[in-house]
Amino acid sequence: MAVKNTAQVVIGGKIFTLGGYESEEYFQKVASYINNKMAELSEMPGYSRQSAETKHTLLSLNVTDDYFKAKKQAEIFEQDLQQKDQEMYELKHELIALRMKIEETEKKQQEAQHQNEVLEDKVKSLNEEIDKLLK
């Protein structure tokens, strides 16, 4: 069973204690992401004049936008992975079919070679008979 961890992080200049089953490094990474998003928003003209509630709403909207974009990208990657898995499955079956054809062709080649040897022996014996008759 996973161990619950806690970590103190700084978000927006305030110290928060985060808890969960993730590592402390993960908590710090989350806090860093929020701080970077807050810094990005604070560069926008007029942001500093907004109320705290509006700032929180804008932060939430931006984080949610990033989430939905990442989720959409993950879905695209998942679809691409499924498509590649299907292509690989089809290629494996094609490879198996080709190997079977090769084996069948090799078998037919061996049979033809054997028949050729039999016929060459027959031709040789017929030529020997002709030579005997001509003498």
pLDDT at 21: 96
Other C-beta atoms within 10 Å of 48: how many?
Answer: 10
pLDDT at 1: 67
pTM of the full structure: 0.66
DSSP one-letter string for 60-88: HHHHHHHHHHHHHHHHHHHHHHHHHHHHH
pLDDT of residue 85 exceeding 80, the answer is yes
pLDDT in tens, 24-58: 999 999 999 999 999 999 999 999 999 999 999 99
Q: Which residue has better confidence, 105 or 132?
A: 105
pLDDT at 135: 78
pLDDT of residue 14 exceeding 80, the answer is yes
Euclidean distance between CA atoms 65 and 71, whole angstroms: 10
